[in-house]
Amino acid sequence: MPNVYYDQDADLDILQGKTVGIIGYGSQGHCHALNLKDNGQKVMVGLHATSRSRENARQAGLEVADVDEVTRESDIVMVLIPDHVQPTVYRESIQPNLKPDTTLMFAHGFSIHYKAVVPPANVNVSMVAPKAPGHRMREMFVDGIGVPALMAIQQDTTGDAKGVTLAYAKGIGCTNAGVLETTFKDETETDLFGEQNVLCGGVTSLIRMAFETLVEAGYPPELAYFECLHEMKLIVDLIFQGGFKYMRYSVSDTAEYGDYSRGPRVIDDHVRENMRRTLRDIQDGTFAREWMAENDEGRKRFLQMREEANEHQIEDIGKELRRMMPWMNPVE
Ligand code: NAD
Ligand code: MG
C-alpha cells in the first residue's frame, strides 16, 4: 500500500509568507487558485497578455500578471496550462525567471517524465494531480468536500519539498480526501494507459462498435443508442458504488449470465495483446514522441480525427434523444 496523507499530515503554515503562482486559469487553474485563496494563501495567476481568462480571474478577486512576472514573484509555481504548450511557455517565460529554491509543480507528470521540460537542479520539482475535473473539484470544495490526488517528488533541493507539496495539496482541499504518494513515472504511465484503454479510448470504441453492429443489422439507431450508450452511466454508477459484484447483484440474472459468458468473448486475448502494445508505446516513449510531433506539426491529423469523430451518426442521434430528456441537463 502506498503512503496516503490526510489533513493531519499536512501543515498549511509552511505556505505562510509564501506566494503561490498559478500558471493558467483553465479547468485546474481556476480551481487551484480559488481554493488556495479561500484557504488564506497569497495567490498570483500567470497568463499571457492576450488571454481571455485574465478578466475572469480578476473578477474572481485574483491578482493577475504575465507568466514571467508571476514566476519571479512566486515561491511555488504550479504549471496548469495544457501539457502540449508547457514546453514552450516553460522555455520562454518560466525557466528564465525561476528563483533558486522555488518549488516547481505540475498536476500531471507528462512534461517532466518525457523530458519536454527539464528544470534546473536548484529548484524542487513535485506534483499534485487531483483525480477529478477542475470544475467538479471546485464545486466540491465549496461544499466542503475534497477530491483525492496523487503526489510525487521528483527533485528535492531544499529538503522540504514534501512538506511544501503536502501543504499545497491541503490548500486545494485534497488531503481532506486523501493524497497517495507515487512517482512521476507511475502517474504519467498509468494515467495515459487508463485514458487510452478504458476511460476515453476504450469506452468510446466499445460503445461505437456495438452501436454500429446493431445499426448494421437493421435495428433502429435510437434503440442502439439507448442500449449501448445511455444505459452505460447507470451501470457505471453501480460499479463505482459497489464494484462489479454490486452491479451484478442489481441487474437481472440473465444480464449477469450474459456478462460472464459473453463479455470475455468480446474483450478477448486479442484485446489484451493490444492493451499490452499501447502500454509498451507509453513506456518506451513512442506515444509521447508521436503526440509532441503532432503538436509541432500543427495538429492537422488530430483535428481531422476530431472532425471525423464528431460526424459519426451516434452524435446526431444522441443530440436528438438527449433533447427529449431535459432532466439530464444535456450539453450540445
Ligand atoms: P486547460 O486546457 O483547462 O487550461 C488551459 C489554460 O492554459 C487556460 O487558462 C489558457 O488560457 C492557458 N493557456 C493555453 N495556452 C497558453 C499559452 N500558450 N500560454 C499561456 N497560457 C496558456 O488545462 P487543464 O485541463 O486545466 O490542464 C492543466 C494541467 O492539469 C495539465 O497538466 C493536465 O494534464 C492537468 N490535469 C488536468 C485535469 C483536468 O481536470 N482537466 C485533471 C488532472 C490534471
Ligand atoms: Mg487522468
Per DSSP, the three-state class of 44 is strand
Q: Is 29 in the pocket of ligand 1 (CB under 6 A)?
A: yes
Amino acid 223: pLDDT: 97
Per DSSP, the three-state class of 102 is coil
Q: Is 89 in the pocket of ligand 1 (CB under 6 A)?
A: yes
Give yes or no for a contact between 214 and 228, defined as CB atoms under 8 angstroms apart: yes
Give yes or no for a contact between 45 and 148, defined as CB atoms under 8 angstroms apart: no
Rounded-to-integer distance, Cα 62 and Cα 56, Å? 9
Rounded to the nearest whole angstrom, what is the distance from the C-alpha of residue 109 to the centroid of ligand 1?
Answer: 13
Q: Is 113 in the pocket of ligand 1 (CB under 6 A)?
A: no
Rounded to the nearest whole angstrom, what is the distance from the C-alpha of residue 110 to the centroid of ligand 2?
Answer: 11
Give yes or no for a contact between 66 and 43, defined as CB atoms under 8 angstroms apart: no
DSSP assignment, residue 96? Answer: G
Per DSSP, the three-state class of 4 is strand
Q: Is 137 in the pocket of ligand 1 (CB under 6 A)?
A: no
From residue 83, how far is each of 3, 7, 20, 247, 288 by CA, in Å? 27, 29, 20, 36, 11
Pull the grid cell for residue 26. Answer: 483553465
Amino acid 332: pLDDT: 80
Q: DSSP of 172-213, one letter per residue?
A: TTGGGT-EEE--HHHHHHHHHHHIIIIITHHHHHHHHHHHHH
Q: Is 28 in the pocket of ligand 1 (CB under 6 A)?
A: yes
Say whether 30 is catalytic: no
Nearest CA, atom 13, ligand 1: 81
Amino acid 63: pLDDT: 98
Q: Residue 185: which of 108, 128, 122 has the closest Cα?
A: 108
Nearest CA, atom 27, ligand 1: 82
Rounded-to-integer distance, Cα 48 and Cα 291, Å? 24
Rounded to the nearest whole angstrom, what is the distance from the C-alpha of residue 163 to the centroid of ligand 1?
Answer: 25
The catalytically annotated residue of 32, 108, 113, 270 is 108
Going residue by residue through the chain, which has 332 residues, state the pLDDT in tens, using 9 for 90 and above: 889 999 999 999 999 999 999 999 999 999 999 999 999 999 999 999 999 999 999 999 999 999 999 999 999 999 999 999 999 999 999 999 999 999 999 999 999 999 999 999 999 999 999 999 999 999 999 999 999 999 999 999 999 999 999 999 999 999 999 999 999 999 999 999 999 999 999 999 999 999 999 999 999 999 999 999 999 999 999 999 999 999 999 999 999 999 999 999 999 999 999 999 999 999 999 999 999 999 999 999 999 999 999 999 999 999 999 999 999 889 88
Pull the grid cell for residue 176. Answer: 481532506
> Distance from CA of residue 315 to its chain's centroid?
24
Q: Which atom of ligand 1 is closest in space to residue 85's alpha carbon?
A: 18
Q: Which atom of ligand 1 is closest in space to residue 89's alpha carbon?
A: 19
Rounded to the nearest whole angstrom, what is the distance from the C-alpha of residue 245 to the centroid of ligand 1?
Answer: 37
Amino acid 210: pLDDT: 98
Nearest CA, atom 40, ligand 1: 133
Q: DSSP of 266-288, one letter per residue?
A: HS-HHHHHHHHHHHHHHHTTHHH
